Copies of this chain bind each other. A is one copy, B any other.
Amino acid sequence: MAEPDSAQRVYQGRVLGVTVERWGEATREIIERADAVAILAVDRAGRVVLVRQPREAVRRHLVELPAGVADAGEDPLATAKRELAEETGLHGGRWRAGPSFFSTPGYSRERVHLFVAEELDEGDPNPDDGEEIEVLRWTPGEVEARLGEIEDSKTLIGLLLHLHEHA
């Protein structure tokens, strides 16, 4: 695809910005934000490891895959290993890349890199100051039965992928 006729950063905040691009007759307002990672982590008992945390934007606590944003210059796999260890204590194990996708390609460039981690070693979480995270572990049967409780897009993708791969 070509490049826009013009592009102007109209807002720049702490972690996100907005760019307005003109493409011929069309105008696009686009969110700029660092790419993210999410981890479908399966413990040695075959349970999927999830986190429950407050999401102020939507005024509720959500159950999600462990996830985070890369530090400057950090590659996605390194980010994923760091975030999983910080949020759940799980480390080591066997890792592979899952799907990589745009969260909302109509108006954002953000990509989410999903990783699958298995045969993990247990450890102590080390959340960032102020992070209020509860770690959950769901058996395959619970994933199937409780899928309807999930309200986060990347988590639906991870859990549906897990059910699909183990169908």
Interface residues of A (CB under 8 A from B): 1, 3-4, 10-11, 13-16, 18, 20-21, 23, 25-31, 33, 54-62, 64, 99-110, 112, 130, 147-148, 150-154, 156-157, 160-161, 163-164, 167
Stoichiometry (number of copies): 2
Chain B residue contacts of A100, Cβ below 8 A: 151
The answer on a CB contact under 8 Å between B160 and A58 is no
The answer on a CB contact under 8 Å between A56 and B26 is yes
By secondary structure, the A interface counts as mixed
Chain B residue contacts of A99, Cβ below 8 A: 147-148, 150-151, 156
The answer on a CB contact under 8 Å between B15 and A18 is no
The answer on a CB contact under 8 Å between A56 and B4 is yes
Given A1-B54, A30-B57, decide whether A152 and B105 contact each other with a Cβ distance below 8 A: yes
Given A102-B153, A109-B58, decide whether A130 and B26 contact each other with a Cβ distance below 8 A: yes
Given A10-B11, A15-B29, A167-B167, decide whether A57 and B156 contact each other with a Cβ distance below 8 A: no
Chain B residue with minimal CB distance to A108? B57
